[in-house]
Chain A
Amino acid sequence: MAKKGVPLSEMATSDTHGEDSPYFVGWKVYDENPYDAASNPSGVIQMGLAENQVSFDLLEDYLEQHPQEFGWGCGVSSFRENALFQDYHGLKTFTRAVALFMEQIRGGRTQFDPQHIVLTAGATAANELLTFILADPGDGLLIPTPYYPGFDRDLRWRTGVNIIPVHCNSSNGFQITLRALEDACAGAESMKVRVKGLLLTNPSNPLGTAITRPVLEEILDFVAHKGIHLISDEIYSGSVFSSDEFVSMTEIVESGGHQERERVHIVYSLSKDLGLPGYRVGTIYSYNNEVVTTARRMSSFTLVSSQTQKMLASLLSDKEFTENYLRTNRERLKKRYEFVVEGLSNAGIRCLQGNAGLFCWMNLGELLEEPTVEGELSLWNSMLHEAKLNVSPGSSCHCLEAGWFRVCFANMSQQTLEVALMRMKDFTEKMKAKQMISSL
């Protein structure tokens, strides 16, 4: 019998899920041939995954020393109550612990009210949820470039909302300028797209930099003037190498920006700072009661497992542990970063001066055959297949300048990192030699 396919939705057949981007293609190549020091030493090293594996031992040690308190371990009598708990307000002990943790990250400079915390299964869900709440299909969200490739899916796919890029460039270290914001708005207007908000990532992915106070103040002024919302994705806030170098949007709000608070919404998650992406713990913190209420109702589609809430409530409530963790984690990330920058420098590669995150923003402009996206992707492809290094091309992050790449350094052991840096050096030397020969 000839079967005619029954149509799915337009959403299902579009490619707005974004998985055809080089960002994800590289992952697939890695999955097919993953590096392993012992069993596959010539495999692909994954440098395209912004994960934090440098501080796991601290968590493991803690769990080993405190087995009674977690989940039900030996405290099984609480299993029943926990298994039944599906209130979308979340476990009180957990939301309190998350609020405390977020305060600690900001050195106690701002307070978080647990009642304004909404839990979602990961920041992926949090960002999508806020987009559903703040914008209608066809509306636009301003996003400074370069930005995390996942936003193309998270913010646009099911919501029907557009991303309006706010283009930043290397002339000022990719900082967001008023001019760039205004240009983006004008562009949206000319396309008859209604701008509903601005989404920042602070510290930035992929830049690895924390946004400075003056720029943050300027941004808040700008959104106030335009009458739009501001989402500050602070998922890497605990990964700033020096805690006093991070300024949260909450600080700007609380130190004089009070009247604008209703338009400010913070996204956070435990996936990066704590290195627990599998547990799907995301949060939205909003000063706007209507947003909190609506977000909470929408979180029904994406709640955090009560089992996970219970376990993490204990861990995050232990102030001594979290202080030590945050401090140690920062130190280790800083060390890694410095090691990588030095290694890249030895290979003749410059990086943007960074102070946060799990990655470097490196410039291979000199190695491009042509200063275009094609040239960049060609180089990226060579790196992937010849040097067997999966890094993320700047174009997949919507960077307008060709030749920038994001290199992750916290998702592997020190030894693997050393191997990767050696390969990078070999590769650049080879490419430079090629260039010299072809220019003869």
Chain B
Amino acid sequence: MAACTRRLDKVMFSIRLLRNIQQKNERFLSTSMRRLDEGSDGGKPTKFTPPPKPVIIDKTQSEASLRKFLSPEFIPPRQRINPLKFAIERKDMIQRRKVLNIPEFYVGSVLAVTMADPHASGKTNRFMGICIQRGGHGLGATFVLRNIIDGQGVEICYEMYSPRLQQLEVLKLEKRLDNNLMYLRDALPEYSTVNLDMKPVPHSVTGDVPVNKTRVRMRPKPWSKRWERPKYNVQGIRFDLCLSPEKLEHAQKWAEPWREYDMLKEYDTTALEERFLKEVQTEMSKSTCP
């Protein structure tokens, strides 16, 4: 058996050698052929033409895999307003978005905003913080950024379509367990501090947005709002560390379990979302008119 394998090895080795020699010869032949051709042009050395640049087709990010995100202010509230009013407002919003890049962000993301300020040195001021709330519809859409600077909590409410905003960058794109983080006012300050020298964290354009499942520890009561009550539907607070089970049960007295069956509160926006997303994408892809 060993003798057979040894012989096999020798045979393989010799085959490989022959193949190598053949390849080398081919290479030699090919280069020599080229040289012969060049010689036949007339003796002049041809000018070096660089090879054509390779066209990189990024097949990893097809349109279907890009995350579809429609900013919530495009979705009109459920009111008896003529849809023409929203259509006209949407046109203005898209025009503004062509000038200022308003990135995709959620409540819980860290943003840095540069705004024009006549009283600041350099005429601009820059503020960064966690987005705790996104409100408003249409052109009056707002978002609130919170940060703790020198031990003082600061919240600034920016209007997304204000002409004074010059730059919006998302330093960290993530979601939280809640849609509204107002309870950070009553939480320990470490949860609201954002380092002012923070570098942007790269995020992917495809797939789901990462959800930060931190549950926040609160300062002792009294709080600004009774966050344990079911109407706020807060998932992101460690109630077990600050309230006794009796108090939590007492808070459930204000639960309104019939509200999920309230048909008048049903508002299905999927069709509207699709339509507006298509409209926004087509308008944004058109180049800015001269």
Query: Is B a genuine binding partner of A?
Result: no
Binding site for A on B (CB under 8 A): none
